[in-house]
Amino acid sequence: MEELFEGLETVQDVDTSVNDVVQADGPDPTSPEWNDYVLSLFENNEMYDGRPLCHGLRRVAELLLGRIVSSRPTQIFAPQGGNEIGRATVVWELVFQDGSLFSDVADCWEGNTDDAFCVFNTATAATRAEGRALRKALRLRTVAAEEMTSKDTATVARSLSQTKAVVQEEFDDSRKMTPNQANLLNKMGSQYNIDLTKMFKLKLSANPARLTVNTASDGIKLLQKYQADISTIPDDILGFNEEWRG
């Protein structure tokens, strides 16, 4: 697997020292023989498990289509929240000497990438996106080796679908706490020095970051009860915090 992501150290690794001579003795790109012809031009060290590697795609693309004058990412979406491992997405653009432009997008995360490469998520996404753009330019029907993974992506997809269904069942966005409810909770919590996070968690077994209309209503009723007799406010929920909604 070591040779798969040989270009991970940089998002741009294009050899522009080739001759400006395009090989033109092959079949027409619209011919059924085109795909097999293009694959026959790769050297053994430019293939992995029967699929072309990105550095081989660069060479063959320049051989057939002319010199690449620009090869760069146009958009990079790195993992959010300060995570080193997460989903990274990159849009890559190729421009050839005749002005032809091709672009494509690819992502990398732990569900579609072997563990050894997940820590290089943005660079791996860049290599994949470049490979996809090169495949598009070459009109290849196969995927690049860097796009493959040994993980069972079908199982990963099923697991994600099941998790999403459970989350949607447990929490319906259309029933979220209303702004008026949030303002009233905030006002009453501040007035009576009540930590609303603790109140929802300890007294109502609810997640304050995911309050529904009904749960917010229960919280307001509880606050009204405390309002009627402030001596009933438990000590373990005292201490108002403006960041109670997370």
In terms of domains, do 120 and 220 share one?
no
The candidate with the shortest Cα–Cα distance to 68, out of 34, 94, 87, is 94
Same domain, 116 and 199: no
Which CATH number is 38's domain given?
A: 3.30.390
Residue type, 140: L
Contact 63, 134 (CB under 8 A): no
In this structure, the answer to whether residues 147 and 104 fall within a common structural domain is yes
The number of domains in the chain is: 2
Residues 70, 114, single domain; the answer is yes
Q: Please give the sequence-ordered ranges of beta strands (E in DSSP) within the chain, or none if there are none.
A: 47-48, 51-52, 68-77, 88-96, 101-108
Greater confidence, 26 or 61?
61
**Phi then psi dihedrals of residue 14, to 5 deg:** -105, 130
Closest by Cα among 122, 146, 150 to 57: 146
Q: Which residues are CB-neighbours of 16 under 8 A, at least 6 positions away?
A: 67, 68, 69
Shared-domain flag, residues 141 and 194: no
Is there a single domain that holds both residue 146 and residue 40?
Answer: yes
- Is the domain of 132 the same as that of 227? no
pLDDT over threshold 50, residue 14: no
Q: Which domain holds residue 135?
A: 34-152
Query: Do both 120 and 185 map to the same domain?
Result: no
Q: Give tens-digit pLDDT for 31-44.
A: 999 999 999 999 99
Q: What is the pLDDT of residues 197-216, one digit of tens each?
A: 999 999 999 888 888 888 88
Taking residues 19-36, report their average pLDDT: 80
Q: Is residue 99 assigned to a domain?
A: yes
Q: Domain check: are 148 and 186 in the same one?
A: no
14: left (phi over 0), alpha (psi -120 to 50) or beta: beta
42-74 pLDDT per residue, tens: 999 999 999 999 999 999 999 999 999 999 999
- Which letter does DSSP use for residue 141 in this model? S
Per residue in 117-175, pLDDT (tens digit) is 888 999 999 999 999 999 999 999 999 999 999 988 777 777 766 655 554 545 455 57
Residues 111 and 43 in one domain: yes
Q: Are residues 41 and 139 in the same domain?
A: yes
